[in-house]
Structure 1
Amino acid sequence: MKEVRQPRYQQIAILIAEKIVHNELKVGQKIYARSTLATTFGVSSETARKAISVLGDLGIVDSIHGSGVVIASRQKAQEYLGQYQEVKSIQDLQTEILKSVSRQQKELANFSSILDKLVGQTEHFQKSNPMTPVEFELAEASEKLGKTLGEMSLWQNTGATVIAILQNDELVISPGPYATINQGDTLYFVGTSDTLQILQNFFYTKD
């Protein structure tokens, strides 16, 4: 993220104003000639001239023809620094907000990546662990109920291997093909990731 930088002449104007506020440069005192000022700050004469021009426009210094530049007002130098600090604070706040937004975007992207990995690993686990049982409650009536597992060819039609049936609060483990399935029963089965949907369609989708 690119930071906003002040022009060099404004930076020099601020430095001179600070010296005035701290009484390093006093009202009525002459300051360096522009060429000397340019050498002191390592800038061109034009940059030094712009810095003095800014201070002159604000009434902080006076450019007296034939006498050079004279410090005119410590109070106005103080006001200038105050305004500068307010602007700088706003710019700093804007920079921090932009940095915060950038961090949040990166964190969100990282979270999304982690979530994608988690979903992928979960799907892989389900596919690679087909013995994890799934529960399916037959809460509603169906024309297929009242038949045995063998009569409805449940495994052949759905791919679900029923490992237990909960009937009237009694758990029947490893039911055979003659086990009858009724409304209110809960099937515990193993299969693929889409077996549950196939079972729902098998019992509750009319032919």
Structure 2
Amino acid sequence: MNVSPLSSPPVWRASLMLALITLFGFGLLYSLAGAGLGRVLFPHQATGSLIERDGQVIGSSLVAQPFADDRYVQSRPSAAGYDVMALAGSNQARTNPDLRARIDEARTAVVTREGVAPADVPGDLVTQSGGGIDPHLSPASVQIQVARVARVRGLPVSDVEQLVAEHTEGRQFGLLGAPRVNVLELNLALDARGKPE
């Protein structure tokens, strides 16, 4: 017995139901559940890893910011001008003369500011990260800034080195990445340390 196409349930009804389940179930409910679970399990990270001082938000541990004052450890250069809305690297090839000129200029600035030899300047103090707002520096890049920070703040070098050691993060899960120092968190610790009595 042949069934007429007109007597079977309309195909559009099944398609509409699938579209609604996909849109609201996976598009809305799944997203809300994931965001809600993230806020419960990781409340600090879910709100942007914001850092507050005296009740005011002064930055995020995930975003670099510039420090012009010699009392502070300087951040990694940013191709985005430390603007989170303009995340970008320079996209310049290693053979680009403009890139080489910018790196040479940055190296000269570090040599002048820190009083070190050009060969001793770590790469992350003169190059920009891919996103342009990397909040971390290598321990070597922080270490060459210790003497200046200690001198300007009137602190013993050993005190600044101790703060650097306390704020040096190891490899993630003991395997991934390299040891690093969050510049903003270190600078806040330096401010909290104050001058010796």
Which structure has greater strand proportion? Answer: 1
Q: TM-score, normalised by structure 2?
A: 0.29
Query: Between Structure 1 and Structure 2, whose CA radius of gyration is higher?
Result: 1
Q: TM-score, normalised by structure 1?
A: 0.28
Q: Which has the higher contact order (CA 8 A, sep 6+)?
A: 2
